[in-house]
C-alpha cells in the first residue's frame, strides 16, 4: 500500500504555494495529511506534486479580531483544543474537536484541512456551519470570503476553485445568551459518527447535522421551530425534515433519521429546553 | 530529496523519495521497532514522536521531517525516558505478540505527561486509537495506571 | 522432587518480552537479506470472472521490475493443493492453484505477481498490468448457492456443496413431542477475519547451489509448512528450512497455505534471490482467511422438571470457493455439529451441517473454530428455555450441566469428555460475580428505566488434540510435539520445542517446566522454538496445544535429562542415583546437601571425561515426544458472565463487566493463562458486537479497511475478572489443558444472553451477530 510516485515541495508562503500549483499539471495541497496521505497510500488519488502548506506561518495560530475568533487554517486540531480563546468563546468547537479521531491524528490534522476536505461525517465542517463561520480563501484570482452556508457542496465537494487555499476560518463570537450543544453516536471512540449534531441556540439558532447526508446540513425546519419556541418534541420530530439522509454500513438511512430525532431531543434538553 | 533531521538525538541526513512514509523511512534506516500495521492511519502500530508529539508514522512523509525532531521506541529506550512504563508492561504482561507495543508505550508516555493521574476510563480513551489484538487491553491499562500511581507517589 | 519453590504455578514475567518492549523484536518484515526483492500482486477485482488474458509486458518494462508472472507461469513450478480431509467422507474441493488460472473465484484472489526492487516499485508495475476479465455470476448467498438453479462455482463438481454431515442420536422426535417446553430459534453469525496486527509476511531465500529453500516465517506451524512447501515445490523435505521468530499475532490466520506465499517461494527459486512478500492491510482483508459465517436453526426441549430432553440444529456455512489446504474448511462447521450442547446432559440430538462454496474469501480455522457458534446457540436456547419455564437461567443450567463426578461422559454426538468441572465452575462464577446481588442491582436499575442485562454461558474448549483431528485425514500435521533438554559445560540448560511462540508465553512456561524438573532457576535456561533445523519435529501452535502437548514433552525431556545427570552424578559420587536430586543448579543428596554443581558435573563430562568410569553413559541431552492417547481431544471447560447496559433509544451497548471461571487443568503460569483468557474474551466480544465482513450481492467486500472493519478497541472493552477451577487432565503427567481459545469460545454466548436479558422488558430478542445498534433497534421494532 505505497502511494504512486509524486514530487514534494514545502511552500514558504501562500503565494509560493499558489504559484507552484499553477505551474504544476496536477498538484494537491498537503495540509495535515491525515486523510490525503491515507488516500494516496490506497492509490485512490495520484497527483504529480504535493505542495505542503502546513508549515506556512501565516496559516497558523488563533487570535481575536473584533467580534470574531480567527483560526489559521493550518492550526492543528490539538492546538484548537488547547486554546483558551476557543475554550472561552467557542465552546462548541472545543467540545467537538475532542471527537476528531484520536490524539495522534489531532496532532497532525488541521482544522482547515478538515473543512476543505469536507468529509460529510467530520466534526469541523459541521461546527463551521453551526457557528456561521466565514471562510477566508486565497487563490489565483485573489482573496475572497465564503460563508460556511455556501461552502459545502457535496461529498468532498466545496466551493473552493482549483488552486484556492483556505487560509483562515473566522468564527463570529456567538451571542452571549447563545448556548451550544454537541453530540455524536459512533460505534467506537474516535470513529466517524453514525450521526452527529452541532447546535447553537440564540435568536438565529443553528442545528447542523454531520454523518447524515452528503455534506454538513442545517435542519432548517427544526431551526425555525426552535426559533419559534416550539417544544422539544415538536422540534425533534422535524430533525431531518427536508434533508436527504444517506445510510452507510453502520447505520441505514432509517436509523440515521431515528438517531437525529434522539440526538436533537437530548441535546436540546441538555441546552435547557423544556 | 535531501533531508536532515534529529533522529533519536542524532542529526541524520538522508536522501529519500518524496513518497516514502516516515515509518518506511525509519524502518529502512534500521529502526525496525516502529511497525507498519495498516498504512492508513488507524492502528497506531507506527506511532512515533515528531516535535514532541505522537503521530502516525504512516500518515507523514519522511520529507516532512526535514528540520524536525523525531523520536522512536529505540530512542526513548536509550534515554530511559519510558523505563518505568516498560518495566510495568513487562510485570503486567501488557503485551503478547509485541507488534503494537511501541505505539502503546509512546501513547501512554504522552498521556502521563498531559495527565499524571488519569482514571482507567481516561487511559482507555487516550489509547483508543491504538489497536491490540492480543491482550484485550486490560493489562495495558493496569500497567499505565501502575506507573501513574508510582510517579505520583501513590 | 526438587527443592525450593516450584516455578510451575508462578506468574513469571516473560523474558522474551523485554526485547519487544524495547523495539528489538525480530519480525519477518524487520529482516533484510542481501539482494532481497519485494512482491506485489495483481488481485482480482471481481468475485468470479474468467481470465481471458494477462498482459504483463508494460509491467515488465517498469523501473525496478525483475520479474512478472501470471498464474500459468507459477503453476508450471508448483503443484495445486486440495483442501480435503479423507476422514470427512465425501467432502470435495477442487485443486487450487497458487495464483488464479483461467478463472478467478473471489475478489482479491491473486492473478499476477510482480517482483521488484522495492514494494513501491512492485506496486507501480502491478498498476499497469492489464487483465482482461469476463465477469461470471457471483455466488454469494450460501443458501441460494444450494438452489439447483444457482450458477456453479466449480462446474466439474456438479454442485456448490462441499460437504454435508448428519448426526441422529436418540429419539429426538419423541422427545420434542412429549416436551413440557420447546423453544426454537434461528441464529446468524457474521463473517469475521483475524486482523493480526502484523499482516501476513514471508521471506523466501533459495540457495541454488545446494537446492535449499529457507522460509523466514510469520506463522504457527513450521513443520507443516516445511512439508507443504517440499511437496508442492518438488523439494526434499530436508532441503526446506522454516524459521519462525517473532510473530505479530496469528490466531489461526497463520496456519494455512496461502497461494500468494507459495508463489513467492516459486519466485525466489526461479530468481535465486531472497524474495519478501509483506501483505498490506487491504490485501489482508481480501486474502487472509475469513471465518464464521454460519446460519443455525436450532430447537431444544425440557421436561416439566427442567431437564433437557433433546437438541436439534441445522447449520449452514459458506466457506468461499475452496476448502483451504491442508486443514480443510469443514472443521468449523463440524465443531458446531459436534459441540452444540457439550456442557449438558442431553439424551437425544439431531444435527445437520452443510458446508457450501461461494465466491468470497475462503474461510478456515480461526481462534475458537466453531466453538463460539456452538456455545452461543446452546446458551441462547438455554435462556429461552429458562424464560419459557419461568426458571432462573443459572438454575436451569445447574440442573442440566454434566455432573462433575460423572466423567467420563460421551455426548450424543459421540464426543468423549473427561476431567471437567461444569458444576463447580458455574457455582464459582455465580459467587465471583455475586449473581444475586447483581440481579438485585439490575432490578433496581430497571425500575429507574435503566436497562441492564446479565448473560451466562457454560462452555467447553477442544484442546490438546490427538491425531484424530488432522493426521487421520491425511494432512501433514503432526499431533505430536517434541522437546529437547540439554546441559552445557557452563551449567546452562538449553531447551527447544516444536511448539512456537506467538506472544502467548510458550517459551516462558517451557522454561518453568524445565526449571522445576532440573532444579535450576528459569533465568539459567535458554529456549529455542520455531526453527525446523534445530527443534524437534512437531505440530506447532494451534488448537490450544502448546502448554498441554509441548509442555508435557518438555517435562518428559527434562526428566530424562535429570536421570542422565543423576546417573553420572551417582557414578562420580559413588552413590545410588535414585537417592540424588537436583536443586539450585546442583546435585543434592536425600538430605538436601549439595554434592556437585551442574557446572562441575558438566565440565567433568565434557572436558575431563577421562576422570569418569569407563563405559558410563555420558549423554547430557534428551529428547522426548508426546501425543495424547486414549482421548481424541482433551477438553477444558468454563463458565462466563457478561453484564451490559443498553440504551434503548440508540441500541448502543455498554459492556459493564465480564467474569470468567475457567478450568484449564494444571495452571503453569497464572498471569499468562489469565491474559490468554482476557485477550480471547475481547476477540469474542469483537465478533459478537463489532466485527463483520460486509459483502454486496456482487461479492465485493465493502469494508476492506481497518477504519471500516471494526475491531475491539480499548475504549469499549470491559475489565474482565477471572477465577479458576483446577481439574488436571489425566492424559498427561503435567495435567495442563489448553487455554488459548476459551475466551473467544464463551464470550459471544454470554454477551448475547446479556443483551437479550436487557431487551426482555421490550419483548425483543436478537439472534444475529454482530449485535450492532441498528440490529438492536430493528429487533426492538424501533426501526422497521
Tell me how far apart the alpha carbons of residues C758 and C755 are, in angstroms, rounded to a whole number. 5
C497's enclosing H/E stretch is strand C493-497
Q: Is the pLDDT of residue C781 over 50?
A: yes
Q: What's the average model confidence in pLDDT over C477-486?
A: 96
CA distances from C410 to C111, C407, C443 (A): 48, 9, 40
User: Do C131 and C42 form a contact (C-beta atoms < 8 A)?
Assistant: yes
CA distances from C784 to A234, C189, C770, C781 (A): 22, 21, 19, 6
Chain B within 8 Å of C743 (Cβ-Cβ)?
yes
Report the residue of B3, B4, B41, B54 to disrupt the A interface, i.e. the one with the largest count of A CBs within 10 Å: B41
Are B97 and C681 inside 8 Å of each other by CB?
Answer: no
Please count the other Cβ atoms lying within 10 Å of the Cβ belonging to residue A57: 10
Tell me how far apart the alpha carbons of residues C409 and C415 are, in angstroms, rounded to a whole number. 8
Q: What's the average model confidence in pLDDT over C23-28?
A: 98
Q: What is the DSSP letter of C238?
A: G
Chain length of chain A: 274
C-alpha cell at C261: 506465499
Tell me how far apart the alpha carbons of residues C108 and C105 are, in angstroms, rounded to a whole number. 9
What are the residues facing C349 on neighbouring strands?
A: C169, C311
Chain B within 8 Å of C691 (Cβ-Cβ)?
no
pLDDT (tens digit, 9 = 90+) per residue, C362-397? 999 999 999 999 999 999 999 999 999 999 999 999
**A22-31, C55-64, C465-474, C722-731: which range is least confident on average?**
C465-474
How many Å lie between the alpha carbon of B29 and the closest alpha carbon of chain C? 11
Q: What is the DSSP letter of C159?
A: S
> DSSP letters along A189-243, please?
TTSPPSEEEEEE-SSS-EEEEESSSSS-EE-HHHHHHHHTT--HHHHHHTTTTT-
Q: What's the average model confidence in pLDDT over C7-26?
A: 97
Q: What's the average model confidence in pLDDT over C478-484?
A: 96
pLDDT of residue C3: 47
Nearest beta carbon to residue B128 from set A50, A52, A190? A190
Tell me how far apart the alpha carbons of residues C37 and B7 are, in angstroms, rounded to a whole number. 27
Which residues of chain A make contact with B39, given a CB cutoff of 8 A? 1, 38, 41
% chain A with pLDDT above 70: 100
pLDDT band at C2 (very low <50, low <70, confident <90, very high): very low
Could you identify the residue written with the cell 501502575? B146
Q: Give CA angle at C689 (C686, C693), nearest 5°.
A: 75
Q: Which residues of chain B have pLDDT under 70?
A: none
pLDDT of residue C623: 98
Q: Please, what is the end-to-end C-alpha distance for chain B in angstroms? A: 50
Question: Dmax of chain A from CA atoms?
Answer: 58
Which residues of chain B make contact with A33, given a CB cutoff of 8 A? 59-61, 64
pLDDT of residue A22: 97
Helix and strand element counts for chain B (H, E): 6, 5
How many Å lie between the alpha carbon of A37 and the closest alpha carbon of chain C? 14
Q: Is the pLDDT of residue C419 over 70?
A: yes
Tell me how far apart the alpha carbons of residues C691 and C483 are, in angstroms, rounded to a whole number. 38
Q: Is the pLDDT of residue C729 over 50?
A: yes
CA distances from C613 to C419, C609, C617 (A): 47, 9, 9
Question: What residue in B sits closest to C24 (Cα-Cα)?
Answer: B33
Are B128 and A1 inside 8 Å of each other by CB?
Answer: no
Could you identify the residue written with the cell 523495539? C23
Chain B within 8 Å of A202 (Cβ-Cβ)?
no
User: Do C368 and C744 form a contact (C-beta atoms < 8 A)?
Assistant: yes
Residue B23: strand, helix, or coil: helix
How many Å lie between the alpha carbon of A216 and the closest alpha carbon of chain C? 21
C-alpha cell at C276: 519478501
Are B129 and A34 inside 8 Å of each other by CB?
Answer: no
Touching chains, C (3+ CB pairs < 8 A): A, B
Touching chains, A (3+ CB pairs < 8 A): B, C
Which residues, numbered 198 to 227 in chain C, qualify as contacts with chain B under a Cβ-Cβ cut-off of 8 Å? 198-199
Which residues of chain C make contact with A249, given a CB cutoff of 8 A? 694, 702-703, 708
Touching chains, B (3+ CB pairs < 8 A): A, C
Q: Where are the beta strands (DSSP E) in B53-133?
A: 53-56, 69-71
pLDDT (tens digit, 9 = 90+) per residue, C667-685? 999 999 999 999 999 999 9
Nearest beta carbon to residue C783 from set A43, A249, A255? A255
Mean pLDDT of chain C: 97
Chain B within 8 Å of A7 (Cβ-Cβ)?
yes
C-alpha cell at C578: 535414585
Which residues of chain C make contact with B102, given a CB cutoff of 8 A? 23
Tell me how far apart the alpha carbons of residues C767 and C756 are, in angstroms, rounded to a whole number. 9
Could you identify the residue written with the cell 442431553? C346
Tell me how far apart the alpha carbons of residues C512 and A14 are, in angstroms, rounded to a whole number. 64
The dihedrals phi and psi of A52, each to the nearest 5 degrees, come to -80, 110
pLDDT of residue A272: 83
ipTM of the complex: 0.98
The dihedrals phi and psi of B121, each to the nearest 5 degrees, come to -65, -40
pLDDT (tens digit, 9 = 90+) per residue, C537-568? 999 999 999 999 999 999 999 999 999 999 99
Q: Where are the beta strands (DSSP E) in C247-335?
A: 275-278, 290-302, 308-318
Q: What's the average model confidence in pLDDT over C122-149?
A: 98
Which residues of chain B make contact with C706, given a CB cutoff of 8 A? 37-38, 40, 42-43, 131
Q: Give CA angle at A48 (A46, A49), nearest 5°.
A: 115
Chain C within 8 Å of A103 (Cβ-Cβ)?
no
pLDDT band at C5 (very low <50, low <70, confident <90, very high): confident
Tell me how far apart the alpha carbons of residues C480 and C725 are, in angstroms, rounded to a whole number. 27
Half-sphere exposure at residue C640, Cβ-oriented, CA atoms within 13 angstroms: 34
The torsion region of residue C58 among left (phi > 0), alpha (psi -120 to 50) and beta comes to alpha
A vs C, Cβ pairs < 8 A, gives 60
Half-sphere exposure at residue C123, Cβ-oriented, CA atoms within 13 angstroms: 19
pLDDT of residue C4: 66
Nearest beta carbon to residue B133 from set C18, C249, C717? C249
Nearest to C691 by CA among C744, C742, C646, C639: C744
pLDDT of residue C1: 39
pLDDT of residue A273: 78
Residue C469: strand, helix, or coil: coil
B10 Cβ contact list (under 8 Å, min separation 6): none
Model pTM greater than 0.95?
Answer: yes
Amino acid at each position: 500500500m505505497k502511494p504512486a510516485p509524486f514530487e514534494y515541495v514545502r511552500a514558504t508562503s501562500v503565494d509560493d504555494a499558489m504559484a507552484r500549483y499553477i505551474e504544476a499539471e496536477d498538484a494537491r495541497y498537503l495540509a495535515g495529511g491525515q486523510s490525503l496521505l491515507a488516500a494516496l497510500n490506497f492509490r485512490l488519488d495520484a497527483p504529480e506534486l504535493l505542495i505542503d502548506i502546513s508549515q506556512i506561518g501565516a496559516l497558523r495560530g488563533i487570535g481575536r479580531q473584533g467580534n470574531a475568533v480567527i483560526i489559521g487554517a493550518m492550526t492543528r486540531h490539538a492546538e484548537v483544543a488547547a486554546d483558551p480563546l476557543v475554550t472561552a468563546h467557542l465552546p462548541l468547537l472545543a467540545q467537538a474537536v475532542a471527537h476528531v479521531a484520536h490524539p495522534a491524528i489531532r496532532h497532525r490534522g488541521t482544522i482547515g484541512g478538515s473543512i476543505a476536505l469536507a468529509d460529510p461525517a467530520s466534526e469541523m465542517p459541521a461546527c463551521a456551519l453551526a457557528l456561521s463561520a466565514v471562510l477566508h480563501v486565497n487563490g489565483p484570482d485573489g482573496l475572497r470570503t465564503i460563508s460556511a452556508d455556501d461552502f459545502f457542496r457535496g461529498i468532498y465537494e466545496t466551493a473552493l476553485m482549483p488552486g484556492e487555499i483556505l487560509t483562515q476560518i473566522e468564527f463570529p463570537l456567538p451571542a452571549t445568551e447563545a448556548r451550544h450543544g454537541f453530540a455524536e453516536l459512533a460505534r467506537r471512540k474516535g470513529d466517524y459518527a453514525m450521526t452527529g449534531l452541532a447546535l447553537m441556540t440564540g435568536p438565529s439558532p443553528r442545528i447542523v447535522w454531520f454523518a447524515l447526508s452528503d455534506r454538513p446540513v442545517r435542519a432548517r425546519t427544526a431551526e425555525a421551530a426552535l426559533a419559534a419556541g416550539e417544544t422539544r418534541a415538536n422540534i425533534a420530530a422535524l430533525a431531518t425534515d427536508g434533508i436527504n439522509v444517506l445510510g452507510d454500513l453502520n447505520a441505514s438511512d432509517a436509523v440515521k433519521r431515528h438517531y437525529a430525532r434522539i440526538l436533537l431531543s437530548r441535546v436540546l434538553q441538555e441546552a435547557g429546553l423544556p | 530529496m535531501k533531508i536532515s533531521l534529529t533522529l533519536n538525538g542524532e542529526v541524520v541526513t538522508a536522501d529519500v523519495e518524496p513518497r516514502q512514509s516516515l515509518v518506511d523511512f525509519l524502518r529502512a534506516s534500521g529502526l525496525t521497532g516502529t511497525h507498519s500495521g495498516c498504512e492508513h492511519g488507524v492502528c497506531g502500530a507506527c506511532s512515533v514522536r515528531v516535535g514532541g508529539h505522537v503521530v502516525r508514522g504512516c500518515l507523514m512523509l519522511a520529507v516532512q521531517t526535514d528540520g524536525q525532531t523525531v523520536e522512536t521506541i529505540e530512542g526513548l529506550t536509550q534515554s530511559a525516558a519510558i523505563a518505568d512504563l516498560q518495566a510495568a508492561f513487562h510485570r503486567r504482561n501488557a503485551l503478547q505478540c509485541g507488534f503494537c507495543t511501541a505505539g502503546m508505550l509512546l501513547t501512554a508516555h504522552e498521556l502521563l505527561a498531559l495527565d499524571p493521574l488519569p482514571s482507567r476510563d481516561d487511559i482507555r480513551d487516550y489509547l483508543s486509537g491504538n489497536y491490540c489484538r492480543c491482550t484485550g487491553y486490560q493489562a495495558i491499562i493496569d500497567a499505565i495506571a501502575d506507573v501513574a500511581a508510582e510517579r505520583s507517589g501513590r | 522432587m526438587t527443592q525450593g519453590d516450584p516455578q510451575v504455578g508462578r506468574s513469571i514475567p516473560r523474558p522474551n518480552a523485554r526485547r519487544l518492549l524495547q523495539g528489538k523484536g525480530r519480525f519477518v518484515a524487520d529482516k533484510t537479506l542481501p539482494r532481497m526483492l519485494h512482491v506485489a500482486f495483481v488481485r482480482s477485482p471481481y468475485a468470479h470472472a474468467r481470465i481471458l488474458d494477462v498482459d504483463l509486458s508494460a509491467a515488465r518494462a517498469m523501473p525496478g521490475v525483475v520479474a512478472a508472472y501470471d498464474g500459468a507461469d507459477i503453476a508450471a513450478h508448483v503443484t495445486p493443493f486440495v483442501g480435503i480431509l479423507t476422514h470427512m467422507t465425501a467432502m470435495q474441493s477442487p485443486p487450487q492453484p497458487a495464483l488464479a488460472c483461467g478463472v478467478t473465484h473471489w475478489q482479491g484472489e491473486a492473478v499476477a505477481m510482480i517482483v521488484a526492487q522495492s514494494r513501491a516499485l512492485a506496486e507501480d508495475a502491478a498498476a499497469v498490468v492489464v487483465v482482461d476479465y469476463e465477469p461470471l455470476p457471483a455466488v454469494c448467498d450460501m443458501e441460494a448457492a444450494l438452489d439447483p438453479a444457482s450458477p456453479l462455482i466449480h462446474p466439474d463438481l456438479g454442485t456448490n456443496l462441499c460437504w454435508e454431515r448428519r448426526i441422529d442420536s436418540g429419539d429426538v422426535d419423541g422427545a420434542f413431542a412429549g416436551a413440557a417446553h420447546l423453544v426454537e430459534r434461528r441464529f446468524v453469525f457474521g463473517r469475521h477475519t483475524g486482523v493480526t496486527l502484523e499482516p501476513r509476511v514471508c521471506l523466501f531465500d533459495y540457495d541454488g547451489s545446494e537446492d535449499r529453500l529457507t522460509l523466514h516465517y510469520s506463522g504457527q506451524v513450521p513443520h507443516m509448512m516445511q512439508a507443504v512447501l517440499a511437496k508442492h515445490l518438488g523439494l526434499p523435505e530436508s532441503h526446506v528450512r522454516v524459521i519462525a521468530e517473532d510473530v505479530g499475532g496469528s490466531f489461526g490466520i497463520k496456519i494455512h497455505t496461502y497461494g500468494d506465499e507459495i508463489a513467492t517461494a516459486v519466485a525466489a527459486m526461479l530468481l535465486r534471490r531472497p524474495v519478501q512478500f509483506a501483505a498490506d492491510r487491504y490485501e489482508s482483508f481480501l486474502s487472509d482467511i475469513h471465518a464464521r459465517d454460519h446460519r443455525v436453526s436450532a430447537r431444544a426441549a425440557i421436561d416439566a422438571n427442567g431437564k433437557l430432553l433433546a437438541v436439534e440444529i441445522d447449520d449452514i456455512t459458506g466457506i468461499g470457493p475452496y476448502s483451504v489446504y491442508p486443514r480443510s474448511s469443514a472443521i468449523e462447521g463440524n465443531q458446531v455439529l459436534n459441540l452444540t450442547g457439550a456442557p449438558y446432559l442431553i439424551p437425544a440430538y439431531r444435527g445437520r451441517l452443510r458446508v457450501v462454496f461461494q465466491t468470497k474469501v475462503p474461510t478456515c480455522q480461526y481462534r475458537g473454530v466453531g466453538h463460539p457458534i456452538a456455545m452461543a446457540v446452546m446458551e441462547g436456547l438455554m435462556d429461552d428455555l429458562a424464560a419459557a419455564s419461568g426458571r432462573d437461567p443459572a438454575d436451569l443450567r445447574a440442573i442440566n450441566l454434566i455432573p462433575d463426578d460423572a466423567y467420563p461422559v460421551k455426548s450424543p454426538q459421540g464426543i468423549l469428555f473427561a476431567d471437567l468441572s461444569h458444576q463447580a465452575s458455574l457455582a464459582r462464577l455465580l459467587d465471583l460475580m455475586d449473581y444475586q446481588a447483581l440481579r438485585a442491582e439490575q432490578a433496581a436499575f430497571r425500575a429507574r428505566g435503566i436497562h441492564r442485562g446479565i448473560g451466562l454461558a457454560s462452555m467447553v474448549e477442544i484442546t490438546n488434540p490427538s491425531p484424530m483431528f488432522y493426521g487421520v485425514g491425511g494432512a501433514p500435521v503432526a499431533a505430536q510435539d517434541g522437546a529437547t533438554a540439554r546441559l552445557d559445560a557452563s551449567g546452562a540448560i538449553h531447551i527447544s520445542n516444536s511448539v512456537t511462540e506467538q506472544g502467548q508465553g510458550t517459551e516462558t512456561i517451557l522454561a518453568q517446566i524445565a526449571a522445576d524438573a532440573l532444579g535450576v532457576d528459569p533465568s539459567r535456561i535458554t529456549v529455542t522454538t520455531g526453527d525446523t533445523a534445530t527443534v524437534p519435529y512437531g505440530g506447532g501452535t494451534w488448537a490450544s496445544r502448546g502448554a498441554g502437548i509441548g509442555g508435557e514433552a518438555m517435562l518428559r525431556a527434562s526428566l530424562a535429562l535429570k536421570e542422565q545427570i543423576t546417573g553420572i552424578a551417582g557414578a562420580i559420587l559413588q552413590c545410588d542415583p535414585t537417592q540424588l536430586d537436583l536443586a539450585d543448579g546442583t546435585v543434592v543428596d536425600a538430605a538436601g546437601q549439595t554434592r556437585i554443581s551442574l557446572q562441575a558435573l558438566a565440565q567433568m563430562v565434557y572436558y575431563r571425561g577421562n576422570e569418569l568410569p569407563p563405559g558410563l553413559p555420558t549423554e547430557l541431552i534428551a529428547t522426548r515426544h508426546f501425543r495424547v492417547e486414549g482421548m481424541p481431544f482433551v477438553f477444558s471447560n468454563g463458565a462466563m458472565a457478561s453484564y451490559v447496559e443498553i440504551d434503548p433509544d440508540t441500541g448502543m451497548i455498554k459492556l459493564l463487566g465480564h467474569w470468567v471461571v475457567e478450568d484449564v487443568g494444571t495452571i503453569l503460569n497464572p498471569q499468562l493463562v489469565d491474559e490468554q483468557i482476557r485477550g480471547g474474551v475481547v476477540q469474542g466480544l469483537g465478533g459478537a458486537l463489532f466485527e463483520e465482513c460486509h459483502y454486496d450481492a456482487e461479492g465485493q467486500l465493502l469494508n476492506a479497511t481497518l477504519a471500516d472493519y471494526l475491531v475491539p478497541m480499548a475504549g469499549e472493552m470491559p475489565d474482565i475478572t477471572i477465577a479458576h477451577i483446577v481439574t488436571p487432565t489425566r492424559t498427561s503427567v503435567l495435567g495442563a489443558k489448553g487455554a488459548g481459545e476459551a475466551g473467544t469460545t464463551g464470550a459471544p454466548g454470554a454477551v448475547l444472553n446479556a443483551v437479550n436479558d436487557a431487551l426482555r422488558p421490550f419483548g425483543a430478542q436478537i439472534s444475529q451477530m454482530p449485535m450492532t445498534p441498528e440490529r438492536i433497534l430493528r429487533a426492538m421494532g424501533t426501526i422497521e
